Amino acid sequence: MFECFVNYLKLFKNIPQGDIDIIEEELEHRKVTEDEILLNEGQVCKEMFFVCKGVLRIVALNEKGSKMAYFFLKENQFCSILNSFNNNIPAIEGIEAACDGELIVLKKQKLLILYEKLPYLKELITAITTQSLLDKIQVRNSYLGEDASTRYRNFLIRQPEIALRVSLGDIASYLGITQQSLSRIRKNIR
């Protein structure tokens, strides 16, 4: 049930079986279906998800009021709205399932218990999520300097598995262009 999560952590640090038992005590498992909403914009985010299977998307409303995908998270990635989670403030973004999948749910209360019992876990998870922030920011910055066609080609290189599993509309909003533009770009690439 929780192997994928534990196995992922073990990639970074050897964790004794006793600790694993403690960790699994506080985890929850959840199946999600496409377009299921895991967190609404405006709510305080009190959970951190770990994707075992499928793809999650972080979404927000843009200036014109339409939903835009900020990020896609796939297997072995954490997904939360950290600004909300850390500071107990309403989230500006929401979390949705981009396709059917399975998650590990880390409730904030339970995670804090784990951090008390196993302080190294806090360091580890913080390091992982911080690193993923740095990766995300690097990608988003580079997109701003590219035209739509280049953005799409780089998206295919950077996240080929995502490209196959989420809708064209999702990808277009993620790249900051319209569906029609993306469809046109796809045609030109063929």
Partner DNA sequence: ATCCTTTTTTACCATTTGTTAAATGTGCTT
Partner DNA sequence: AAGCACATTTAACAAATGGTAAAAAAGGAT
Contact residues for a second copy, defined by CB under 8 A: 60, 62-64, 68, 70, 82-83, 86-87, 92, 126, 130-131, 133-138, 140-146, 150, 154, 173, 175-176
Q: Are 163 and 152 in contact (CB under 8 A)?
A: no
What residue 132 binds from a second copy, DNA, none (CB within 5 to 8 A, per partner kind)? none
What residue 148 binds from a second copy, DNA, none (CB within 5 to 8 A, per partner kind)? DNA
Q: How far is the CB of 110 from a second copy (least distance, A)?
A: 21
What's the order of all strands across the beta sheet hosting 67-73? Answer: 37-39, 94-97, 56-61, 67-73
Find all residues with CB under 8 Å of 13, minimum gap 6, and list them. Answer: 120, 124
Tell whether residue 21 is a contact of DNA (CB under 7 A). Answer: no
Q: How far is the CB of 106 from a second copy (least distance, A)?
A: 18
- Which CB, 83 or 142, lies closer to DNA? 142
Choices 10-18, 20-28, 80-88, 144-152 (CB under 7 A): range interacting with DNA: 144-152
What residue 70 binds from a second copy, DNA, none (CB within 5 to 8 A, per partner kind)? a second copy
Q: How far apart are CA 5 and CA 27, in angstroms?
A: 10
Among candidate residues 28, 9, 1, 17, the one with its CA nearest the CA of residue 120: 9
Tokens 């377009």 belong to 35
Residue type, 91: A
Tokens 């799409």 belong to 152
- Which CB, 159 or 173, lies closer to a second copy? 173
Tell whether residue 90 is a contact of DNA (CB under 7 A). Answer: no
Q: How far is the CB of 164 from DNA (least distance, A)?
A: 10
Tokens 């911080």 belong to 130
Number of H helices, E strands in the chain: 9, 8
Q: Which residues bind DNA (CB under 7 A)?
A: 64, 147-149, 167-169, 176-187
